[in-house]
Amino acid sequence: MIAIVDYGAGNLGSIEKALRYIGAEVLLTHDPAEAASADGLVLPGVGAFGHCMSGLESADMRGAVLDFIGSGRPFLGICVGLQMLFTESVEMGSRQGLGVIPGRVIRFGDTVGADLKIPQIGWNSVRYRPGAALFAGIPQETRFYFVHSYYPAPESETVVSATADYGGDFCCAVEIGNVHATQFHPEKSGSAGLAVLRNFAALCA
């Protein structure tokens, strides 16, 4: 069973529908005990980093997410669910994240994309490193759907599993042990996104 963290933010309906479409058993939950019993955990996120962190904490799910990650079972963050894994974000000042991955979340225009339309909205090609679990069987330069103004800048490049180009290369996916996350929305990315979700579900099986 794959649990989706329901903390009042995120594209929950689309993620649940996509996972059910590929045949996964899915549970939407705001109960730490239910999350703890899952085979895999998905942390979605839409909107501002600070609001998502506040929602996670208000739902008493911050500890449940960190405990699940610590258990070694497969974890998937999506969009702001990726960003929240980092130490901090510059959005709306400086806001602390979950601190799973050292690094900051920064805005397009700070280091890349200075002359581009922000936010990035639409399809973009993704290049992944060989062996990246979420991208198994997916051709390089496959296009996925993005909606974001901020992106993660990890302290170590070793956690970066995929990049995309928007005025310059940026990290659009990470993999570190059992932790996987994407800046793009697999649930909105058609057949390619479903392939990513199938790969995650296979890790949870």
Please classify residue 72 by burial: count the beta carbons closer than 10 Å to its beta carbon, then call 0-12 exposed, 13-18 middle and 19+ buried. exposed
Backbone angles phi, psi at 22, to 5 degrees: -85, 5
187 is known as an active-site residue? yes
30 is known as an active-site residue? no
Q: What is the DSSP letter of 59?
A: T
Residue 14's SS3 state is helix
Q: Which residues have CB under 8 Å from 191's CB, separation 6+? A: none
Q: Which residues have CB under 8 Å from 72's CB, separation 6+? A: 177, 178
| Catalytic member of 88, 91, 148, 185 | 185
| Strand duo 86-89 + 101-107: pairing | parallel
79 is known as an active-site residue? yes
Per-residue tokens: 115: 């002359």
| Catalytic member of 52, 79, 172, 204 | 79
Backbone angles phi, psi at 16, to 5 degrees: -60, -45
Q: Which residues of 136-166 are buried (b: 16+ CB within 10 A; e: fewer)?
A: eebeeebebbbebebbbbbeeeebbbbbbeb
Active site residues: 79, 185, 187
